[in-house]
Chains A and B, each alone.
Chain A
Amino acid sequence: MQQRSSTVQEPLADSAYRPTPPPAWRPRTDPAPLLPDAEPLRVLGTDAVADADPALLRRLYAELVRGRRYNAQATALTKQGRLAVYPSTTGQEACEIAAALALEERDWLFPSYRDTLAAVARGLDPVQALTLLRGDWHTGYDPREYRIAPLCTPLATQLPHAVGLAHAARLKGDDVVALAMVGDGGTSEGDFHEALNFAAVWQAPVVFLVQNNGFAISVPLAKQTAAPSLAHKAVGYGMPGRLVDGNDAVAVHQVLTEAVARARRGGGPTLVEAITYRIDAHTNADDATRYRADGEVETWRAHDPVLLLERELTERGLLDEEGRRAAAEAAETMAAELRERMNADPVLDPMDLFTHVYAEQTAQLREQAAQLRAELEAEGESR
């Protein structure tokens, strides 16, 4: 048997040599149809917007205005010490909201820690959405009631959950789709890979939405990946990748609706990358001037998702001064209510600490609960 040197490129004369690998080793999918769009899809400012349903456009506008106001109100609540922290999505409202609105009621949303607006757009009570950040309990709502997985902070770990849920729904014969959201930084986590791979292998009805807002705290995308785009990553898993302008609510809604429909009819998962920008700092605790220039922020302000939609609707005669005022007033009402409810101190029962650890309390927990109860009683007496 002739020894083959690792540097030799020519085929050997050996009869065992195969010019191509055996069939099972061949790539199973032609990558071309899986490759993302060359440019992020845009609808606003193009002829395609004429096809959009005016009712949807108005709805998106009202939600975007409300979302912007929610971000401002929640940020203000951090300054008043009512919230420990708030990761704002100012500048990202279009992807947050348009994506959530692409889901049917029976579908599930798997948000990242930043996606409060998506959850609220889906119907979650605005105060319950902030419980995690206020600090009274980790999840302020029953996930099954809203079909929204808990907002929580480990990055990308919700992605395999979405795959599992979608897979389970399909096994049960339900045509439920899961939308899983993640940031650009989160795509570097191992769970991102495992989730996409499982989804593609199982052909699970999942849509992955990456909101590429340019930074993971302070780290720019260039230090996160060397891929041509994050949507390109889809090809390696055998699912289509889509690129969309994340500040164009109509384009996001269109791409997400297509991906959701594709998943629902058994076509498998899609990876969507929405190009957007985080106008505010990472959270109120972050100083964004340390890692980005003001000029960059100003460029993106000119491409503001609310303005883009407002301009389009105005030009098309779908929005007038009264419409704008109505949206602003509705947002103001929401903000006032949020403020008022958040200014009320939450009523907490420390004994809850032991209530939800197990279905049935262990003896150790019963003992520790008794200890705390005694401490609380003693405290009450001393007051």
Chain B
Amino acid sequence: MTTATTGAAAAKAAGRTKPATMAQALQRAMRDAMAEDPTVHVMGEDVGTLGGVFRVTDGLAKEFGEDRCTDTPLAEAGILGTAVGMAMYGLRPVVEMQFDAFAYPAFEQLVSHVARMRNRTRGAMPMPMVIRVPYGGGIGGVEHHSDSSEIYYMATPGLHVVTPATVEDAYGLLRAAIASDDPVVFLEPKRLYWSKSEWSPEAPARVEPIGKAVVRRPGTSATLITYGPSLPVCLEAAEAATAEGWDLEVVDLRSLVPFDEETVAASVRRTGRAVVVHESGGFAGPGAEIAARITERCFHHLEAPVLRVAGFDIPYPPPMLERHHLPGVDRVLDAVARLQWEAGN
């Protein structure tokens, strides 16, 4: 992960094309997929003429026509429900839910049909589709514009749940999601939409397999396990922790379902300590599942309990208070300090 400034500066210094944003990478992923495969259809509220409220679908309607990038009526269940029928007929819908909390009306379709159609039909009717959901806070949004809804999707068998944290991954994972023969809930960390890197919108780009975590920063004394919007926080914390003598490894999950237990377990066995960091609530949150899995797999390697740094278990707060809710560098460092654990603590 390159931060906005260093990435842009490095690209400029190297005389390369101007840095791309995550939003542009996502857009190119859809464009490339649509150009390659005529069955790929983008649909949602305002995705056509406007190019989406985050401009992620900008230009697609112009390039591919309104039949391939469609402004739908304002109805999330209808959007996802019609996408089910389209997938039944051999199309690959890429559906945009405008904001995290506005995907809830579509849950019925998601949970009752999208997620279980393959299973219900004994594999005869797969549901190849992507449900793109801008999620998470940190952009000063009003209520219902900042939810971290990943746990609902994770708890629904039949769905893949993917979330990129870098511009490169935004492209690579979305291409893989569109190519997947199973439904993928593609969670886009909206506060990273404008993050930049040296990734060029013109140069050839990689497709990333779904289900593989990556070590973003190697380290020896503890592992931070994170994904999506919390990755930059963890990288910053890891840098800061060096002053305290901690050499932190940072694992970016990239995919919550399937969950890459191997990469996580291998890292924790090396370091002996782990902290899971995410924005969504901690109670029955993703970190609970991950911590349990680490304990089951790495019990004898652990020098301390697996800790979680999560958002509070509260409805997402109003923008003026969100900085208190979102796990920041300090909270991560506090947790790291607590990893100096002694029995009887």
- Residues on A facing B (Cβ under 8 Å): 137-139, 141-145, 149-150, 152, 154, 157, 159-169, 171-172, 178, 190-191, 193-195, 197-198, 201, 352, 355-359, 362-364
CB pairs A–B below 8 angstroms (27 shown): A138-B116, A138-B119, A139-B120, A139-B122, A139-B125, A141-B121, A142-B121, A144-B125, A150-B125, A154-B108, A159-B81, A160-B81, A160-B109, A161-B84, A161-B113, A164-B89, A166-B85, A167-B85, A190-B77, A194-B73, A198-B72, A198-B73, A356-B118, A356-B123, A359-B182, A362-B211, A363-B262
Contact assessment for B85 and A165 in the assembled complex, using a CB-CB cutoff below 8 Å: yes
Contact assessment for A364 and B258 in the assembled complex, using a CB-CB cutoff below 8 Å: yes
Partner of A150, one of B90, B121, B160: B121
Contact assessment for A363 and B261 in the assembled complex, using a CB-CB cutoff below 8 Å: yes
Contact assessment for B82 and A160 in the assembled complex, using a CB-CB cutoff below 8 Å: yes
Partner of A364, one of B108, B119, B126, B259: B259
The minimal Cβ–Cβ distance linking B55 to chain A, given in whole angstroms, is 24
Q: Give Cα A197–Cα B93 distance, bound, in whole angstroms.
A: 19
Residues on A with beta carbons closer than 8 Å to the beta carbon of B88:
143-144, 149, 161, 164-165, 168
Q: Give Cα A139–Cα B82 distance, bound, in whole angstroms.
A: 20
Contact assessment for A357 and B119 in the assembled complex, using a CB-CB cutoff below 8 Å: yes
Residues on A with beta carbons closer than 8 Å to the beta carbon of B182:
358-359
**Candidate in A154, A160, A165 with the most chain B CB atoms within 10 angstroms:** A160
Nearest opposing residue in chain A for B80, CB measure: A160
The minimal Cβ–Cβ distance linking A105 to chain B, given in whole angstroms, is 16
Q: Give Cα A33–Cα B78 distance, bound, in whole angstroms.
A: 26
Residues on B with beta carbons closer than 8 Å to the beta carbon of A157:
81, 108-109, 112-113
CB within 8 Å for A352 and B122 given contacts A157-B112, A194-B77, A357-B158: yes
Interface residues of B in 71-107 (CB under 8 A from A): 72-73, 75, 77-78, 80-91, 93, 105
The minimal Cβ–Cβ distance linking A233 to chain B, given in whole angstroms, is 16
Q: Give Cα A169–Cα B87 distance, bound, in whole angstroms.
A: 11
Nearest opposing residue in chain B for A164, CB measure: B85
Nearest opposing residue in chain A for B87, CB measure: A164
B235 CB-CB contact with A under 8 Å: no
Q: Give Cα A141–Cα B125 distance, bound, in whole angstroms.
A: 10
Residues on B with beta carbons closer than 8 Å to the beta carbon of A169:
89
Contact assessment for B118 and A357 in the assembled complex, using a CB-CB cutoff below 8 Å: yes
Nearest opposing residue in chain B for A180, CB measure: B85
Contact assessment for B121 and A161 in the assembled complex, using a CB-CB cutoff below 8 Å: no
Contact assessment for A163 and B85 in the assembled complex, using a CB-CB cutoff below 8 Å: yes
Contact assessment for A357 and B157 in the assembled complex, using a CB-CB cutoff below 8 Å: yes
Contact assessment for A362 and B105 in the assembled complex, using a CB-CB cutoff below 8 Å: no
CB within 8 Å for A152 and B124 given contacts A157-B113, A165-B86: no
The minimal Cβ–Cβ distance linking A147 to chain B, given in whole angstroms, is 10
Residues on B with beta carbons closer than 8 Å to the beta carbon of A159:
81
Nearest opposing residue in chain B for A138, CB measure: B120
Contact assessment for B67 and A171 in the assembled complex, using a CB-CB cutoff below 8 Å: yes
B117 CB-CB contact with A under 8 Å: yes
Residues on B with beta carbons closer than 8 Å to the beta carbon of A145:
124
**Candidate in B112, B117, B211 with the most chain A CB atoms within 10 angstroms:** B117
Partner of B81, one of A143, A150, A171, A191: A191
B180 CB-CB contact with A under 8 Å: yes
Please name 6 further chain A to chain B contacts, defined as beta carbons within 8 Å, in addition to the given A157-B81, A164-B85, A194-B78, sorted by A numbering. Answer: A138-B116, A139-B121, A191-B78, A362-B258, A363-B259, A364-B261
Q: Give Cα A138–Cα B83 distance, bound, in whole angstroms.
A: 21
Residues on A with beta carbons closer than 8 Å to the beta carbon of B85:
160-168, 178
Residues on A with beta carbons closer than 8 Å to the beta carbon of B123:
355-356
B181 CB-CB contact with A under 8 Å: yes
Residues on B with beta carbons closer than 8 Å to the beta carbon of A364:
258-259, 261
B257 CB-CB contact with A under 8 Å: yes
Contact assessment for B108 and A150 in the assembled complex, using a CB-CB cutoff below 8 Å: no
Contact assessment for B211 and A195 in the assembled complex, using a CB-CB cutoff below 8 Å: no
Residues on B with beta carbons closer than 8 Å to the beta carbon of A172:
89-90
Nearest opposing residue in chain A for B159, CB measure: A358
Nearest opposing residue in chain B for A367, CB measure: B261
CB within 8 Å for A358 and B77 given contacts A143-B124, A160-B84, A364-B261: no
Contact assessment for A150 and B67 in the assembled complex, using a CB-CB cutoff below 8 Å: no
The minimal Cβ–Cβ distance linking A260 to chain B, given in whole angstroms, is 17
Partner of B86, one of A144, A164, A197, A358: A164
Nearest opposing residue in chain B for A169, CB measure: B89
Nearest opposing residue in chain A for B122, CB measure: A356
Q: Give Cα A364–Cα B93 distance, bound, in whole angstroms.
A: 27
